[in-house]
Amino acid sequence: MPEHVKLLNDVQFDANKTSKPQLEEQQLEELQIVIMESHHYTLPIKISTWENGFTNHMTAIVDTLDMIKKEIRVEIQTDYEMKCMLIEKIIAAERI
């Protein structure tokens, strides 16, 4: 019986997954501008990331940009934790 419950939970989990949105050139440019403003002026922004079928949202300040590794390091505003993330996982960034 526990296997049946796990299987049902797995099916529900997979049903909630979404495909990664494809950003247009204008959206990518706006994303870049917002990230650069946060980095240069230490402004908090809302960042949305996509990973494994799910979208996550956070409020953060961009601390470091690493174009060689294609990642950014941000300070998350809820707990002041530093986190690195791949730029390709970012699907939206907006000014607060």
Tokens representing residue 96 in the block: 């607060």
What CATH code is carried by the domain that includes residue 16? Answer: 2.30.30.520
> Considering its fold, how many domains does the chain have in total?
1
Answer yes or no: are the C-beta atoms of 34 and 94 closer than 8 Å: yes
pTM for the whole structure? 0.82
DSSP 64: E
Half-sphere exposure of 1 (CA within 13 A, CB side): 0
Tokens representing residue 46 in the block: 């809302």
In which domain, by residue range, is 7 found?
A: 2-95
The per-residue pLDDT for range 3-24, each reduced to its tens digit, is 766 665 665 666 678 889 999 9
The per-residue pLDDT for range 19-76, each reduced to its tens digit, is 899 999 999 999 999 999 999 999 999 999 999 899 999 999 999 999 999 999 999 9
Cα-trace Rg, the chain = 16
